[in-house]
């Protein structure tokens, strides 16, 4: 059995990549937080499953539907209440870590992924409506998302930078965070009160790269590139958050923008079901795990500092991809587009489900 609190002692936070009303009503979240889970992430796909795929919200939907509210407003009413209640449960962790941990995330509409001004406006509104210091607003690392991230951090709004696949995107996200902190500092803001994570989506990289490797007949690299990409990114994280420029901010209480490993369920049954947890343990990181992966890790995961092992080998594996004529940047660019589209589809499906419940109520 893996003890999550031992993992916390190595400097890694485990967050739960799932949210639904039943977890709040049953007390399951409280049990998790006592056992070493220290945060929660959500996304449009998670809320689609929670709201459209369960009966958890049916009783609460009735008065909202009867009031004739727009479907997006109904969704936000339900989601924000879940986020607020989760933030309240995590508030002790947030306080005990002086604001480093204990966050819950909610995402701006994925349909705003290519709209900087729209993203900023919605992020401001969500942050104000949730009204909790330990909420993070998720913003995708698109061309439009990067300036939005800088602006929001500059206003003291916590940001979970999401859908990172590529090193170049990560570096842009880190720069936006640092610039935002510098702007917030110039405005007299307390740097201890703003935080961010940079969410790398891991397993999807292997899924895409493995297909390309299969076409090249280079099976020896399959199942290795996602972890290698994360290890190289972590080495870059340590370089970025050091040196004179960063130390000026750190001395004023700024937190590093922790790398967060997302999409950590193993898609290929040939790989270990805890691959993307066991292999990515290191200080100042977060791993947000879906339910089945958390259960598997607690049951038979291995707790050890693995993230900094064999970084040179990881770099060599990525170089081998290039030598084979496989462009990792092209793959990660496509993964970002697919990720934005998938979340937008889930968002629309969820709204359509709420509208369908309204029609059913009228017909009934």
Question: What's the per-residue H, E or C state across the chain?
Answer: CCCHHHHHHCCEEEEECCCCHHHHHCCHHHHHHHHCEEEECCCHHHHHHHHHCCCCCHHHHHHHHHCCCCHHHHHHHHHHHHHHHHHHHHHHHHHHCCCCCCCEEEECCHHHCCCHHHHHHHHHHHHHHHCCCCEEEEEECCCCHHHHHHHHHHCCCCEEEEEECCHHHHHHHHHHHHHHHHHHHHCCCCHHHCCEEEEEECHHHHHHHHHHHHHHCCHHHCCCHHHHHHHHHHHHHHHHCCHHHHHHHHCCCCCCCEEEEECCCCCCCCCCCCHHHHCCCCCCEEEEECHHHHHHHHHHCCCCCCCCCCHHHHHHHHHHHHHCCCCHHHHHHHHHHHHHHHHHHHHHHHHHHHHHHHHHHHHC
Q: Which residues pair with 197 in a beta bridge?
A: 160, 258
Domains of the chain as residue ranges with CATH: 4-359 (3.20.20.70)
**How far, in Å, CA of 158 to CA of 149, rounded?**
9
**What's residue 56's pLDDT?**
86
CB of 222 within 8 A of CB of 213? yes
Sign of CA pseudo-dihedral 260, 287, 109, 82: negative
Annotated active-site positions, please? 138
Nearest residue to 216 via CA among 288, 308, 320, 133? 320
CB of 149 within 8 A of CB of 180? yes
**What's residue 226's pLDDT?**
98
Nearest residue to 13 via CA among 284, 194, 264? 284
Nearest residue to 72 via CA among 347, 262, 281? 347
**How far, in Å, CA of 271 to CA of 290, rounded?**
17
**What's residue 66's pLDDT?**
85
Q: How far apart are the first and last CA of the chain?
A: 50
CB of 91 within 8 A of CB of 102? yes
**What's residue 361's pLDDT?**
64
In a structure prediction context, what are the per-residue pLDDT tens digits for the chain, which is 364 residues long?
889 999 999 999 999 999 999 999 999 999 999 999 999 999 989 988 888 888 888 888 888 988 889 999 999 999 999 999 999 999 999 999 999 999 999 999 999 999 999 999 999 999 999 999 999 999 999 999 999 999 999 999 999 999 999 999 999 999 999 999 999 999 999 999 999 999 999 999 999 999 999 999 989 999 999 999 999 999 999 999 999 999 999 999 999 999 999 999 999 999 999 999 999 999 999 999 999 999 999 999 999 999 999 999 999 999 999 999 999 999 999 999 999 999 999 999 989 988 887 777 666 5
Sign of CA pseudo-dihedral 82, 83, 84, 86: positive
What tokens appear for 159 in the block? 């940001």
**What's residue 364's pLDDT?**
54
Q: Which residues pair with 285 in a beta bridge?
A: 12
């Amino acid at each position: 059995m893996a003890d999550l609190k031992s993992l916390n002692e190595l400097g890694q936070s485990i967050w739960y990549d799932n949210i639904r009303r039943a977890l709040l009503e049953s007390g399951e979240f409280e049990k998790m937080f006592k056992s070493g889970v220290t945060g929660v992430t959500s996304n449009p796909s998670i809320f689609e499953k929670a709201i459209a795929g369960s009966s958890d919200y049916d009783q609460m939907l009735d008065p909202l539907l009867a009031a004739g509210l727009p479907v997006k407003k109904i969704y936000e009413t339900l989601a924000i209440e879940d986020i607020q209640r989760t933030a309240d449960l995590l508030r002790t962790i947030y306080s005990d870590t002086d604001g480093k941990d204990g966050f819950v995330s909610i995402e701006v509409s994925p349909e705003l992924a290519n709209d900087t001004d729209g993203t900023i406006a919605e992020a401001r509104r969500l942050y104000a409506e949730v009204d909790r210091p330990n909420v993070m607003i998720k913003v995708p690392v698109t061309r439009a998302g990067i300036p939005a991230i800088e602006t929001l951090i500059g206003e003291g709004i916590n940001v979970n930078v999401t859908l990172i696949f590529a090193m170049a995107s990560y570096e842009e996200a880190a720069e936006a965070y640092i610039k935002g902190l510098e702007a917030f500092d110039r405005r007299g803001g307390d740097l201890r009160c703003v935080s961010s994570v940079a969410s790398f989506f891991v397993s999807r990289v292997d899924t895409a790269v493995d297909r390309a490797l299969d076409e090249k007949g280079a099976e020896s690299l399959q199942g290795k590139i996602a972890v290698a990409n994360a290890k190289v990114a972590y080495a870059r994280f340590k370089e970025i958050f050091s040196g004179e420029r960063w130390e000026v901010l750190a001395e004023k209480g700024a937190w590093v923008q922790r790398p967060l490993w997302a999409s950590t369920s193993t898609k290929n049954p040939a790989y270990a079901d805890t691959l993307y947890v066991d292999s990515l343990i290191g200080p100042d990181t977060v791993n947000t795990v879906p339910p089945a992966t958390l259960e598997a890790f607690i049951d038979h995961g291995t707790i050890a500092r693995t993230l900094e092992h064999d970084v040179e080998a990881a770099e060599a594996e990525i170089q081998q991809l290039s030598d084979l004529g496989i462009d990792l940047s092209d793959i990660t660019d496509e993964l970002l587009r697919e990720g934005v589209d998938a979340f937008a589809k889930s968002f629309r499906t969820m709204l359509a489900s709420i509208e369908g419940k309204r029609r059913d109520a009228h017909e009934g």
